[in-house]
A and B are shown apart, each in its own frame.
Chain A
Amino acid sequence: MQNATKMILSAPVCSLVREPALEPILKTENLWKVYRTGKVDVPALRGINVEIFPGEFVSVMGPSGCGKSTFLHVIGGLAQATKGHVLLDGNDLTGMTDAARTLLRRHKVGFVFQKFNLLPTLDAYHNIALAQHIHGDGFDPHRFEVVTKLLGLSDRLHHKPSELSGGEQQRVALARAIISEPKIVLADEPTGNLDTKTSETVLALLRQLNKELGQTIVMITHNPEAATYGNRVLHMRDGIVVDGPAVH
């Protein structure tokens, strides 16, 4: 177990040049998540240690059931860790109350989901504006314009999700995730529901967001090709990271 959970140092997919003093935006220490099913404990994460630095685009790969999504939920504050620590921008999520984690998600995390998860009753404009409203700093028209222009949504803003293609819906979800300038974007299989061509567009946009806005991104994917869009790949198996956990 200890061997398995031990950090395995490996070279990143793409080399990053980073100042030695740079602090990780996300750091996990011996992170465990155990689900209880009836009377049986099912460990989904079994002691993960990773560091993700500002400006990184990290892909997380692994087979189904290896704990990728659980990892994303725990580092994003959606689920509580059973053991260990998650430090997000210096805040330890492990001991936080539900309300404190909610506040942290609001200000520091942006989520992108496989099924887009846009509110079906709202048009694209209001789906994006809702995130700003929940964030609480008021509507920022400049930021809104920059983001929607960057994602090519300017002329699709008044369409409801049901009137948008999958790619457009995912772009709206991307806009919603970054509109409030989160410290980190967590994308759970963002191309899982898209065809190859649209997937490439969305992945290219993610890379563009990372490069142009310096947005830190952690993306879960099954697709090795998609993983190459990131500048580092973490491989997970059976609840542990088996490859490429940190950049040194």
Chain B
Amino acid sequence: MIGHLILRNAMHRPVRTAITVLAVAVEVMLVMIVVGLTSGLMYESAKRTEGIGADIMVQPPSASIFMAFSGAPMPISIGGKLLQLDYVHAVAPVLIQFNSVNGLDIVYGIQPDTFNAVSGGFVVRQGTELVGANDILVDDVYARAKKVKVGQTLHILEHDFRVAGIVEHGKGARLFVFMSTLQEMSGARDKASVFFIKCDRSDHTAAAVDEVHSLLPGYEVRPLKDFLSLMTSSSIPALGAFINVMIAIAVGIGFLVIFLSMYTTIIERTREIGVLKALGASKVYIVEIILSETTLLCLGGVACGIGLSYLVRMISLRIWPSLTILITPKWMLLSTLIAIVGGLLGAAYPAWLASRKDPVEALAYE
């Protein structure tokens, strides 16, 4: 009976219902897109790093797991020492630069022979591998997103590069240049940001990690199979706080909209509340009606919000193909919970107010 009543109430004011549902949907979408975007970027970055095919990654002491933030403080000569370790098959030094011209990109400075030895080489879709000092390789996702063609000039890091080839994505970065060129440009002669190590056998990874630790005490030595699990929002200082702030804003929106909607509703339905009281409806019964209606509106908003999130993701990926927005069941569930809790909090005061209405005054309400 309550179900029927709240459904009829919701349908009685379709515009109010639609606006409330839409507001909750925006709340859910905001949470899912913000979280999906941040985790998607990290996931995608981690997958690309894993895709290099290395077994171990070596960084200087206290370096961030986000390699673009770490500069280039390691002498490249370390690579030679690493190569002499028992279980090491190949070592690829990489200089990483963060480019903010025409978008945000990570550029890998590589030595093609060592990088290919570790990664198994690029799959070239168009053009060739790096040949000249000013050549650049772009991956297919970047090429599609920026409409880049082989042979064109690309202005990156305040430098003009010639696009030598378009390669398959998934090898660490989306842009690759000669390491020597990048070292020259960034004043990091003979320096590298990271060493990728390929072991002679995958099951020797742990032993190789121990060897590197012995050789380079204090350095960050990470097996790449663990890399994906390390790339979480908690790995970036303030990112967790940023996500929490966005969630708080979303909950705030939901709270205020539901509060306003249900407050207006109970004012509008004052006489009906009086009738319910005259019929003997208890305070709990009236609170139950208000909160059930809120839950219904929130669930409608959640359903629309999830749909809206997929729509926004679809549109975003059309506009920016290199973006990754992860929509996961975990966050669908959390967004649902956030929307319902925010909504119920917003409806709590109006529900309490309704339950305390004086029946005689309520029945006389015009």
With a cutoff of 8 Å between Cβ atoms, the chain A residues found around residue B271 in the complex are 117
Within 8 A of A (CB), among B1-22: 1-2, 4-5, 8-9, 11-12
- The CA of A103 and the CA of B282, in the complex, are separated in Å by 8
Interface flags for B255-285 (1: CB within 8 Å of A; 0: not) read 0000000000000000110111111111101
Partner of A121 from B9, B358, B363 at Cβ < 8 Å:
B9
With a cutoff of 8 Å between Cβ atoms, the chain B residues found around residue A118 in the complex are 275
With a cutoff of 8 Å between Cβ atoms, the chain B residues found around residue A131 in the complex are 279
Partner of B279 from A79, A104, A126, A176 at Cβ < 8 Å:
A176
With a cutoff of 8 Å between Cβ atoms, the chain B residues found around residue A76 in the complex are 278
Within 8 A of B (CB), among A12-35: none
Of the candidate stretches A106-114, A195-203, A239-247, the one touching chain B is A106-114
- The CA of A122 and the CA of B271, in the complex, are separated in Å by 15
With a cutoff of 8 Å between Cβ atoms, the chain B residues found around residue A121 in the complex are 5, 8-9, 11-12
Q: Are A134 and B360 in contact (CB under 8 A)?
A: no
Name which residue of chain B comes closest to A182, CB basis. B280
- The CA of A102 and the CA of B59, in the complex, are separated in Å by 73
Partner of A102 from B5, B277, B360 at Cβ < 8 Å:
B277
- The CA of A113 and the CA of B359, in the complex, are separated in Å by 13
Q: Are A133 and B1 in contact (CB under 8 A)?
A: yes
Name which residue of chain B comes closest to A70, CB basis. B360
Query: Shortest 4 CB-CB distances between A and B: which pairs?
Result: A106-B280, A121-B8, A133-B1, A105-B280
Q: Does A135 contact B (CB under 8 A)?
A: yes
Q: How far is the CB of B22 from chain A (nearest CB, A)?
A: 21
Given contacts A106-B280, A131-B279, A135-B280, contact A113 B363 (CB under 8 A): yes
Given contacts A121-B5, A130-B5, contact A102 B12 (CB under 8 A): no
Q: How far is the CB of B270 from chain A (nearest CB, A)?
A: 12
Q: Are A78 and B277 in contact (CB under 8 A)?
A: yes
Q: Is the interface of B mostly helix, strand, loop or mixed?
A: helix
A99-B282, A119-B275 given; name 9 further pairs at CB < 8 Å: A102-B283, A105-B280, A111-B279, A113-B278, A117-B271, A117-B274, A120-B272, A131-B279, A134-B276
Q: Are A117 and B363 in contact (CB under 8 A)?
A: yes
- What are 30 A-B pairs with beta-carbon distances under 8 A? A76-B278, A78-B359, A78-B360, A79-B359, A79-B360, A102-B277, A102-B281, A102-B282, A104-B280, A105-B277, A105-B278, A105-B280, A106-B280, A106-B281, A109-B280, A111-B279, A113-B275, A113-B363, A117-B271, A117-B275, A117-B278, A120-B272, A121-B8, A121-B9, A122-B5, A122-B8, A130-B1, A133-B2, A134-B276, A176-B279
Q: Are B5 and A119 in contact (CB under 8 A)?
A: yes
Partner of B283 from A79, A99, A109 at Cβ < 8 Å:
A99
Q: Is the interface of A mostly helix, strand, loop or mixed?
A: helix
- The CA of A126 and the CA of B9, in the complex, are separated in Å by 13
Name which residue of chain B comes closest to A133, CB basis. B1
Q: Does A129 contact B (CB under 8 A)?
A: yes
Q: Are B279 and A134 in contact (CB under 8 A)?
A: yes
Interface flags for A52-82 (1: CB within 8 Å of B; 0: not) read 0000000000000000000001001011000
With a cutoff of 8 Å between Cβ atoms, the chain B residues found around residue A126 in the complex are 1, 4-5, 8
Name which residue of chain A comes closest to B284, CB basis. A99
Q: How far is the CB of B284 from chain A (nearest CB, A)?
A: 9
Q: How far is the CB of B92 from chain A (nearest CB, A)?
A: 70
With a cutoff of 8 Å between Cβ atoms, the chain B residues found around residue A102 in the complex are 277, 280-283
Q: Are B12 and A120 in contact (CB under 8 A)?
A: yes
Within 8 A of B (CB), among A94-152: 99, 102-107, 109, 111, 113, 117-122, 126, 129-131, 133-135
Q: How far is the CB of A176 from chain B (nearest CB, A)?
A: 7
Q: Specify which of B271, B274, B277, B278 lies most central, judged by the most chain A CB atoms within 10 Å of its CB.
A: B278
Name which residue of chain A comes closest to B362, CB basis. A78
With a cutoff of 8 Å between Cβ atoms, the chain B residues found around residue A103 in the complex are 280, 282
